[in-house]
Amino acid sequence: MNQSDRTKVAIAGMLAAGALLATSTASAVPDAPKAWEKCAGISKTGKNDCGALDGKHGCANQATKDNDDQEWIYVPAGTCEKITGGVIAKVKPAK
């Protein structure tokens, strides 16, 4: 096998490895959510989605402390129960 043939084999091998890598990483990305959960007790200060569960405020980004059980964020359905301290407050379909 001459140098040109070895180069062609090496390039073909790299292309095959790249195609395999692209295929395997694409399957690791989850599908778009079919539903969302209001997950309470996990938001950071100022990073909540919409109003507090107890009604103390009605807007996003107004949480005054981390992990307040009245503050929530939307997460894909099935995610909240995987997060320490997360409590599902409500589930809604994705648009």
Given this model, what pLDDT does residue 21 score? 63
Separation CA 56–CA 50 (nearest Å): 11
Pair (49, 26) in one structural domain: no
What are the strands of the beta sheet with 35-40, ordered from one edge? 72-76, 35-40, 87-93
Pair (44, 77) in one structural domain: yes
Contact in structure between 72 and 49 (CB atoms under 8 Å) = yes
pLDDT in tens, 33-86: 999 999 999 999 999 999 999 999 999 999 999 999 999 999 999 999 999 999
Given this model, what pLDDT does residue 35 score? 94
pLDDT at 23 over 60: no
Distances (CA, A) of 83 to 11, 31, 77, 88: 44, 19, 12, 10
Instruction: Report pTM.
Output: 0.65
Given this model, what pLDDT does residue 94 score? 82
pLDDT at 4 over 60: yes
Query: Where in the sequence is the domain holding 2, given as residue range(s)?
Result: 1-30
Separation CA 40–CA 85 (nearest Å): 8
pLDDT at 26 over 60: no
Pair (40, 24) in one structural domain: no
Pair (41, 62) in one structural domain: yes
Distances (CA, A) of 9 to 12, 17, 29: 5, 12, 31
Pair (40, 16) in one structural domain: no
